[in-house]
Copies of this chain bind each other. A is one copy, B any other.
Amino acid sequence: MSETPDSAVQTATAAVRTYIEQHRAAFLDDLAQWLRIPSVSAQPEHDADVRRSADWLAAALRETGFPEVEILQTPGAPAVFAEWPSGEPGAPTVLVYGHHDVQPAAREDGWHSDPFEPVITDGRMYARGAADDKGQVFFHTLGVRAHLAATGRTAPAVNLKLLIEGEEESGSPHFRALVEEHAERLAADAVIVSDTGMWSEDTPTVCTGMRGLAECEIQLYGPGQDIHSGSFGGAVPNPATAAARLVAALHDADQHVTVPGFYDGIAELTDAERELFAELPFDETEWLRTARSGATYGEAGFSTLERIWARPTAEVNGIGGGYQGPGGKTIIPASAMVKLSFRLVAGQDPQHIEKRVTDWVGEQLPAGIRHEITWSAATRPCLTPLGHPALQSVVRAMSQAFGTKVRFTREGGSGPAADLQDVLAAPVLFLGISVPSDGWHAPNEKVELDLLFKGVETAALLWSDLAATAV
């Protein structure tokens, strides 16, 4: 008598869990080793660390069993590619995307421990990259081993590919070229992005889209050097004032972005989409606690979830000019600087936004203020159709691992998923187990170990489900 599909899944799940339990400690030791490498792609002094991180991951993937592992060089930081063919004719091909570089972190930013010396406390692992993204890349190593152990296979049920880039936290400047160059080797029926989060520990969710990102730095130059504010104050333009006015002019009183053409091409939210958002157990007080913020604030006419998931933004990430040391210094500063980032939603084209903002900045500045605007590589927004069969596979695997209903979210953050979608012509799915309190890009980033192992389980169950599903 053969098992029903459901009981087969139960058996597989039990086997997966047993395997994970046996390898849990070694897995965490290995992950901690990787997290000790400060692979900060935005800081040139860490170039060698980013390369070391790629080498470390390549070795770990070979150790995992991937027969083909290769460092893919770029003009910037290297990516890691790995492939494990299924061996079964007609097996679908899946490409897992993640990144091995991390955000800058310094102990004095408010970390309770060294950001590059992982600490496990109360079921959490604290380290830069614990959640974004090394932890979420690494769960696929134990995931595929558990998948093999539970199914008795010697190769995965799908042709499994991994592409783990090294420049995501720098805006993935060479990622699109990399994907284009290796498009044939990367070809897949579906892309699984493991670089997002879920609603909460109690409400597992699958993300269906990410915002895009355009980022610039604007340098403003006034006097040829700092000049005395008594001798000259009130009679020449001040670049710090110009910087402030630029930032202030970015939004109108309703917090709409004022740059002409900014909203061109956006697909407005449907009522159905707004209802799906509204169904989520959103607790504003709790959300504000996670945001470490005292109040919500944003574009008039939209809820908080709509603002962070489905509306584009203009945000100041950094501003600086003049004297910032202790005490006072009565100068008109020689220069000032603004770092802006724009989150983009489906329908917005980063190049179009960059051009519109560049034009607008030039129009805002008075005579006597020179400026330079520098754009970092942009990231396109992306959105996956809710009904796609591969998305349903992810939902099933995740429901099984978590033992509960899986809902849908979007991701306010940005990743190069859209490049994969564009170049590989494959649907992009998201499998992430991070929660909002994980502190991405902030001090004391952590990952919840329970969720990390649910991620391992989901990955272990997903490959069989996908192989059984036409994708």
Chain B residues closer than 8 Å to A230, beta-carbon distance: 211, 213, 343, 411-414, 440
Of the stretches A28-36, A144-152, A325-333, A352-360, the one at the interface is A325-333
Chain B nearest CB, measured from A159 CB (Å): 31
Closest chain B residue to A366, Cβ basis: B297
Assess whether B320 is in contact with A235, with CB atoms less than 8 Å apart. no
Assess whether B412 is in contact with A232, with CB atoms less than 8 Å apart. yes
Q: Which of B197, B248, B291, B328 is in CB contact (< 8 Å) with A223?
A: B291
Chain B nearest CB, measured from A209 CB (Å): 12
Please report whether the interface of chain A is mostly helix, strand, loop or mixed according to DSSP.
loop
Closest chain B residue to A296, Cβ basis: B235
Contact-size category for A: 35 or more
Assess whether A240 is in contact with B319, with CB atoms less than 8 Å apart. yes
Complex CA gap A250/B234 in Å reads 13
**Interface residue? A238 (CB, 8 A):** yes
Chain B residues closer than 8 Å to A439, beta-carbon distance: 225
Contacts A230-B411, A291-B236; A336 near B319 (Cβ below 8 A): yes
Assess whether A328 is in contact with B321, with CB atoms less than 8 Å apart. no
**Interface residue? A119 (CB, 8 A):** no
Assess whether B413 is in contact with A367, with CB atoms less than 8 Å apart. no
Q: Which of B217, B227, B326 is in CB contact (< 8 Å) with A293?
A: B227
Binary per-residue interface labels of chain A (214-236) against chain B in the complex, 1 for a CB within 8 Å, 0 otherwise: 01010000111111111111111
Assess whether B234 is in contact with A328, with CB atoms less than 8 Å apart. no
Chain B residues closer than 8 Å to A319, beta-carbon distance: 240, 243-244, 319-322, 324, 336
Most chain B CB neighbours (cut-off 10 Å) among A224, A234, A299: A234
Assess whether B328 is in contact with A171, with CB atoms less than 8 Å apart. yes
Can you give 9 A-B contacts (C-beta < 8 A)?
A226-B442, A234-B308, A235-B298, A236-B293, A240-B316, A240-B318, A294-B368, A319-B320, A320-B324
Q: What 10 A-B pairs come out closest when comparing CB atoms?
A: A230-B413, A295-B368, A224-B292, A248-B248, A42-B327, A244-B247, A234-B313, A318-B322, A295-B367, A236-B293
A interface, CB within 8 angstroms of B = 42-44, 103-104, 109-110, 170-171, 197, 211, 213, 215, 217, 222-238, 240-241, 243-251, 288, 291-299, 304, 307-308, 311-313, 315-334, 336-337, 339, 341, 343, 366-370, 376, 411-414, 436, 439-444
